[in-house]
Structure 1
């Protein structure tokens, strides 16, 4: 997620330089043909381009609103995951008890394992959602250090970690293990009927959070929006130099570049917002949220080795 108030122009140029090069070359070509070769017929009525620009602006606005809704829904899902993770830690530590022994080391070890396994689930879900696009156009080194399943190993035993990573859906399998652990605690008398159901309901919420995230991940933004918006932007951008060449001459070149950059930017904003789990600079900051959950749960266990807060890298929080 980009948190800097100003954008990095490296990122802007990375996405737009090819298109802007095309618009620049076209504007220069139109000027040369019109003024050097006296091809005055190379012009388009300004009103036609203005009407097309108005329609395009409305279309891009609708597309960007829909894309932002997907991004904001992803952020709300992971915001709920933060809340339920804190609730899970509190419930595990306060609802499970041994009536025969108030200070049972075995129960305390079990509680710690459930909390740590949930931290592993959060990190595994982050990697699972991002794994299909394990790249970042601006800095690949970020991905190599923040999006790897090895991040879950410190929270599981070696055998359990190997078993989990052998599955096609590691986060879902971790929830299955958590369910078995709750059943075992119920059979041992550490959980009453109500407390068992309460913890199991919280566990179900984690299934819901994963399912909602996968729905966004696996359902592409309607391709017609992306396809036609790109065509319309290039069509409009191609006609712009022909609309001003009669009146502006050489000044038509910078004006056409500015107009085309505005519409191209609107199109690119939608393209980079519609899929919030691709590990790009503007996506939902899953790493930062995961580290926040890890720190909160470790603090509930009265541990001191809390993870450092994720600081922005180049104005981007991952």
Structure 2
């Protein structure tokens, strides 16, 4: 996620330079043909472009708002994961109570296993959502790819659990199954009452819901009609601008048409870059930072001071 107020023009040009080059070349050609070769019929009525500009602005505004809604929903979902992770840790610590003093050590080990397995679940969900698509467009995105590997989770699981986890089609869901099995064992041994069992199970169900909502966004792409036609309309609009300006503005047609075309291009790119919030892009929901926040909170609740290294922004980017 980009947190700095001023964007890097180098990054902007990385995505826009081809289009800007087209706008510039087209404007120069139209100006030269119209003024130097006196081809008057190249000019078109300005009202034609005005009507198209209005319609395109409305269309791009709708696309950007819809794309932002998907991004914001992804952020809210992971906000819920932060909250329920804290609640789950508190519940495991306070609600799993051994029936006999002799079982205290075994109950403590079960609590530790369930707490650290949840940290594994959080990191596994992050990797699961990001793993299918990897982008190597910039140095920052290469860092994204390097930090999204399942081997980072090995320290939070027992060896046999990790071996089984690593070969599952849906690893995060497998960890929730293990949590449910441990919860059942605690209930059988009398460490969890009926009421406490239901409360803990409800929290596990919330983790299922969070994963399902995240997968819904991940696996349901933004309607491709919007993405395709917005590019087409921006291209048509930019191609017509020089023809509408050249008869009245002369040489000024070149910078003016390029700048106006860039405005519409930027609106289109904003929507395109945030429409899928779990795709390893710089504008995505910062899953790595949120995962580390959860890990830190859970460890602190458990009494483990071995916190992960706090993530710092890299060139104004939070991963």
Asked whether the 8 Å contact 2:273–2:283 carries over to 1, the reply is yes
**CA separation in 1, counterparts of 2:128 and 2:22?**
38
Which residue matches 2:263? 262
**Residue 224 (1) aligns with residue 245 (2):** no
Asked whether the 8 Å contact 1:136–1:280 carries over to 2, the reply is no
Which residue matches 2:58? 58
Please, which runs of 5 or more residues in structure 2 have no aligned partner? Answer: none
Which residue matches 1:310? 311
Deviation at 1:143, TM superposition (A): 2.1
Q: SS state of the match for residue 189, structure 1?
A: coil
Which residue matches 1:289? 290
Q: CA RMSD for the aligned pairs?
A: 1.1
**1:159-202 alpha-carbon deviations (Å, 9 max, x no partner):** 21111010011001110111101001111111111111110110
TM-score normalised according to structure 2 size: 0.97
Which residue matches 1:199? 200
Asked whether the 8 Å contact 1:71–1:276 carries over to 2, the reply is yes
**CA separation in 2, counterparts of 1:258 and 1:173?**
52
**CA separation in 1, counterparts of 2:47 and 2:116?**
64
Deviation at 1:99, TM superposition (A): 2.7
**CA separation in 1, counterparts of 2:99 and 2:143?**
48
Deviation at 1:35, TM superposition (A): 1.5
**CA separation in 1, counterparts of 2:10 and 2:102?**
60
Q: Segments of 4+ in structure 1 off by > 6 A?
A: none
Which residue matches 2:110? 110
Asked whether the 8 Å contact 2:86–2:297 carries over to 1, the reply is yes
Aligned residues: 318
**CA separation in 1, counterparts of 2:17 and 2:160?**
49
**CA separation in 1, counterparts of 2:57 and 2:21?**
22
Which residue matches 1:101? 101
**CA separation in 1, counterparts of 2:3 and 2:22?**
31
**CA separation in 2, counterparts of 1:182 and 1:195?**
10
Asked whether the 8 Å contact 2:2–2:283 carries over to 1, the reply is yes
**CA separation in 1, counterparts of 2:91 and 2:134?**
35
Deviation at 1:308, TM superposition (A): 2.1
Deviation at 1:141, TM superposition (A): 3.2
**CA separation in 2, counterparts of 1:4 and 1:138?**
17
Which residue matches 1:153? 154
Which residue matches 2:169? 168
Which residue matches 1:82? 82
Deviation at 1:103, TM superposition (A): 7.8
**1:147-167 alpha-carbon deviations (Å, 9 max, x no partner):** 111111110122211110100
Which residue matches 2:187? 186
Asked whether the 8 Å contact 1:134–1:147 carries over to 2, the reply is no
**Residue 135 (1) aligns with residue 135 (2):** yes
**CA separation in 2, counterparts of 1:63 and 1:44?**
29
Q: SS state of the match for residue 132, structure 1?
A: coil
Which residue matches 1:36? 36
Please, which runs of 5 or more residues in structure 1 have no aligned partner? Answer: none
TM-score normalised according to structure 1 size: 0.98
